[in-house]
Amino acid sequence: MTPLAAAHRTLTRWLLRAQWRSHRGRALVAIATIALGVGLGYAVQLINSAAFNEFSAAARSLSGQADLQVRGAQPFIDERVYPLLATRAGVALASPVLEVDASVPKHNAPLKVLGIDVFRAKQIAPDLTGVPSPQAPFDALADDALFLSPAAQQWLGAGIGGNITLLSGTSPVRLRVAGGIVRALPGQRIAVMDIAAVQWRFGMAGKLSRVDLQLARGVDREAFRRALQQELGGRFVVTETRDVESRTDRLSRAYRINMNVLALVALFTGAFLVFSTQASGVVRRRAQFAMLRVLGMTRALLVRQIMFEGALLGVAGAVLGIALGYAVAALALRYFGSDLGGGYFPGVQPRVGFEPVASAVFLALGIGVALLGTLVPALEAARARPAPALKAGSEEAALAPLSAPWPALACLALGAALTQAPPVFDAPIGGYLAVALLLVGGIALMPRLTAIVFRTLSLWYARRRTSAVVTLALARLANAPGQASIAMGGVLSSFTLIVAMAIMVASFRVSVEDWLAHLLSADLYVRMASSGDTGGLRPDQQTLLASTSGVAHAAFARTSQLTLDASKPPVALLAREIDAADPGAHLQLTGAALPPSAWQAGETPVWASEAMVDLYGYRIGQRLSLPIGGAGERFVVAGIWRDYVRQTGALQIRLADYRRLTHDTSATDAGVTLDAGASASQVVDAMKKLPFGDALEFAQPGDIRARTLTIFDRSFAVTYLLEAVAIVIGLFGVAATFSVQTLARSREFGMLRHVGVTRRQVLALLAAEGGLLTVLGIAMGCLLGFAISLILVFVVNPQSFHWSMSLHVPWRLIAVIGCVMLASSCATAVMAGRRAVSVDAVRAVREDW
């Protein structure tokens, strides 16, 4: 090492130590903020990645080594397709599978039961075959034998040799546990039976869920798939095993991206806090850097020194954030599950694992935001001329470049333009960039806006001359807008995000409440207990239910699924009573409905959810074909309705039309209107006495509304946490910036003390400055936050989840938070200024003598 290099390293260490000793608290706040942002984002990534990987592994285990799977557009297909597939050229092996979700009495979730042909399944999916005892090897073919995975045995509390009861519709199915399964993933609750036994026991005679195909060697899989799909037509879907993972990834992608973006909000505010920290530090050390330049330090070395300081903050924060994120993910997966309120990965118990790529990405993000926040102050320090910088009072000149309005206006204009961008991979990338640009542009515009506002106020107040303290505060803010903007930036960024997220969450919550009030028009709701797809109420049972004492009317409904695109999750099909002349009485329509007079002869109306518009391009009046009923049936889109439950899309059809087309007369749900004077509890008691009463679940509108809003609040728990974090970060930013500025203004305070200003008046001056800055920051934060909330409500949410909402502003909440921030900022400014005021007045101005 050359002497010059050694000298540079020594100087670097000296400067780092001096900076650390002088502003240890400010550095720790910046590190903690970066760590919080990295930790939240990394935890969300780990949780969703672990859950998705486990869910994908479970899906692969159910498919085994199949090359292709043939499914129906509806949940079940006719078993007569099986011999056609088994004997087709190019097929080495075909394995039929019947998969049903069977209700479990006294449990709130169904049990997945797989009916397999054990001889063929052993060759395609050997892990999913049952393990009978040596004394009863033919249990694999018995009609009452069930094989449970370890997780299912634990869940049901049934060991090998025990008995369990499942439900087929409302009828009990008593089975014995004949053994376990060759291999199942931890937490995977599945059962295996002989396929003929499942068809008989659960009333599925002649039905299959899918046929797994193993192709002969040398067969082109993709060409075979396309040819088979064309031959089978739209009533069947030919997919690969990986398509299940792709559908799950598509289903949860928007949720995962939104969670990560919300978590990175803290990281963004951390970047601004690093900027304010470094900018204040560079301004405070302006004379020191000028002296180093005079003594021979080059501009490149000065930039490297300042950037190195910022990088150290980023490295420390990012490493701490990685550790924090891993710990949070492990705790969340252990105690709260894997879905974070989204519900996309049911039935899995993932374990967190270290991900090198994700770790490197979030480590780079933490370091990157710190370097980004340090870049502008470093370049300014390098550009400053040593001679003017050595003079006192040049600090504001260093911040003059920040007042240029053109970069800020360019960011605002580009952000406004990006709000019109379409989604990319089902994610509102343009909306996210627009939010970031509006926030950056608004903060960058503050120096110019601060100068204009406080100069105007200073001139206006000077004519009144009612308070010397306020006059001095306004003069200071008007003549040093750069330093004032840095102090206000923390308040502005945090309060902007608070307002934006508060409006978005309130709009969503109020819209959900209005939607529930419109949807829940009955007095009592009855449904099959976790019925899955094993049947519903028969017509005779529906008659008994409707004739129960106290029931004025029972509106029955049938829920099923349709697969319209192999690359997308299934679409919900809801058959219920709908008045064609007034569909808005049952559906929350987003616009005008197509009147019956506009339907053509032979057309069946369907009402599509908003997600169908985005995902499938449905429009009112559009004619289409659906895999319901015969091949020649024609349908027309009669309206678009709002649905906050099924982001993958849903169609509603009149119950009479559904029964005419499918000949399925069962029902899974019922909305009950009570007679005048009848109580819900009395009707529930009467229904429980029906022969099938044990298979029913009951809920009143208030219970459903409370449960739904509880799930909503749990889903947005991270958002509420980030709002609290934003408040803390804003106050930390005020404290850090004011502490630096008050120490740098000790000579100014000393001079004021010499001319007769008391310590109490100096503290009042600081409180007035903090209050005025915070009021302006809150006002601008409200405007900027409102603009960002419009993007969140009308761009991000519709593009992410394919539903719309109305705008609602929680004025009271925003006012309370604003008052809390105003009082806290004033107190913080006074506390930060006590040290500077405590310096002796003579010593404070001695440097100028």
Residue 146 pairs in a beta bridge with 177
Say yes or no to pLDDT of 261 above 60.
Answer: yes
| Arithmetic mean of pLDDT, 837-848 | 52
The structural domain count of the chain equals 3
Residues 679 and 616 in one domain: yes
Instruction: Specify whether 688 is located in the same domain as 615.
Output: yes
Residues 640 and 599 in one domain: yes
What is the rounded distance in angstroms from the CA atom of residue 269 to the CA atom of residue 265?
Answer: 6
- Judgement on whether residues 331 and 391 belong to the same structural domain of the protein: yes
CA distances to 303, 382, 796 from 398, in Å = 15, 11, 38
Is 712 inside any structural domain?
A: no
Kindly tell me if the per-residue pLDDT of 485 is higher than 80: no
Tokens of 314: 């980023």
For residues 818 and 58, the model is more confident at 818
Containing domain of residue 567, as a range?
524-699
Residue of 604 and 49 predicted with greater confidence = 604
Range 675-689 average pLDDT:
91
- Summarize the confidence of residues 547-574 as an average pLDDT: 89
Confidence of residue 849 (pLDDT cuts 50, 70, 90): very low
Q: Which helix (H) or strand (E) holds 101?
A: strand 91-102
With bands split at pLDDT 50, 70 and 90, how would you rate the model's confidence at 403?
low
Answer with the residue of higher pLDDT: 220 or 383: 220
Q: What pLDDT is stored for residue 309 in this prediction? A: 79
- Helix (H) or strand (E) run with residue 152 in it: helix 150-156
Q: What is the identity of the amino acid at 42?
A: Y
Closest alpha carbon to 603 in 569, 670, 543, 654: 654
Same domain flag for 83 and 54? no
Own/partner contacts of 279-282, CB < 8 Å, gap of 24 or more, are 279/376, 279/377, 279/399, 279/486, 280/483, 280/486, 280/736, 280/737, 280/740, 280/741, 281/19, 281/23, 281/26, 281/309, 281/377, 281/740, 282/306, 282/377, 282/378, 282/380, 282/381, 282/398
* 0.85 surpassed by pTM: no
Buried-state track 382-407, b at ≥16 Cβ within 10 A, e below 16:
bebeeeebbeeebbeebbeebbeeee
Q: Say yes or no: 577 and 619 in one domain.
A: yes
Task: Give the separation between CA 498 and CA 726, rounded to whole angstroms.
Answer: 7
Read off the amino acid at residue 248.
Answer: T
Is 775 inside a domain boundary? no
817 vs 348, more confident: 817
Q: Evaluate whether residue 797 is within a structural domain.
A: no
Is residue 477 in some structural domain?
Answer: no
Separation CA 362–CA 344 (nearest Å)? 24
Last residue of a domain, one of 638, 673, 699: 699
431: phi then psi, degrees, rounded to nearest 5: -65, -40
235 and 286 inside one domain? no
Largest CA distance in the chain: 104
Q: Is residue 789 part of a domain?
A: no
Nearest-angstrom CA–CA distance, 534 and 168: 5
Mean pLDDT of 620-644: 89
How much is the pLDDT for 540?
A: 92
* Confidence band for 177, pLDDT divided at 50, 70 and 90: very high
110-164 residue pLDDT tens: 889 999 998 888 888 888 888 898 888 888 889 899 999 998 998 898 888 899 9
Stretch among 192-201, 442-451, 535-544 having the lowest mean pLDDT? 442-451
Residues 94 and 31 in one domain: no
Q: In 10 A of CB 3, how many CB atoms?
A: 7
The pLDDT value recorded for residue 609 is 95
Whether 657 maps to a domain, the answer reads yes
Backbone angles phi, psi at 87, to 5 degrees: -100, 5
Same domain? For 671 and 540 the reply is yes
**Is residue 22 scored above 70 in pLDDT?**
no
Q: What is the pLDDT of residue 545?
A: 93
pLDDT digits (tens, 9 = 90+) for 299-313: 777 777 778 877 888
How many Cα atoms sit within 13 Å of 741 on the Cβ side?
A: 29
Q: Is the pLDDT of residue 513 over 60?
A: yes
Instruction: Return the pLDDT at 528.
Output: 80
Boundary-marking domain end, from 640, 673, 699: 699
| Same domain assignment for residues 77 and 164 | yes
Shared domain for 355 and 228, answered yes or no, is no
Interval 278-290 mean pLDDT: 66
Q: Is residue 682 part of a domain?
A: yes
* Pair (277, 181) in one structural domain: no
CB 536 within 8 A of CB 558: yes
The reported pLDDT for the residue numbered 346 is: 55
Rounded Cα distance between 419 and 500, Å, is: 15
Work out whether the CA dihedral 627, 629, 632, 637 comes out positive or negative. negative
d(CA 544, CA 821): 61
Chosen domain end from 699, 717, 738:
699
Contact at 8 Å (CB) between 551 and 684?
Answer: no
Task: Please work out, in degrees rounded to the nearest 5, the angle formed at the alpha carbon of residue 713 by the alpha carbons of 711 and 714.
Answer: 65
Q: Residue 349 pLDDT more than 80? A: no
- What 3-state DSSP class applies to 209? coil
HEC-encoded secondary structure of 426-490: CECHHHHHHHHHHHHHHHHCHHHHHHHHHHHHHHHHHCCCCCHHHHHHHHHHHHCHHHHHHHHHH
Over the chain, what is the mean pLDDT?
A: 81
How much of the chain exceeds pLDDT 70, in percent?
A: 76
Residue 728 domain-assigned (yes or no):
no
**Lowest-pLDDT choice from 29-43, 176-190, 426-440, 772-786:** 29-43
CA distances from 214 to 60, 321, 633 (A): 14, 47, 34
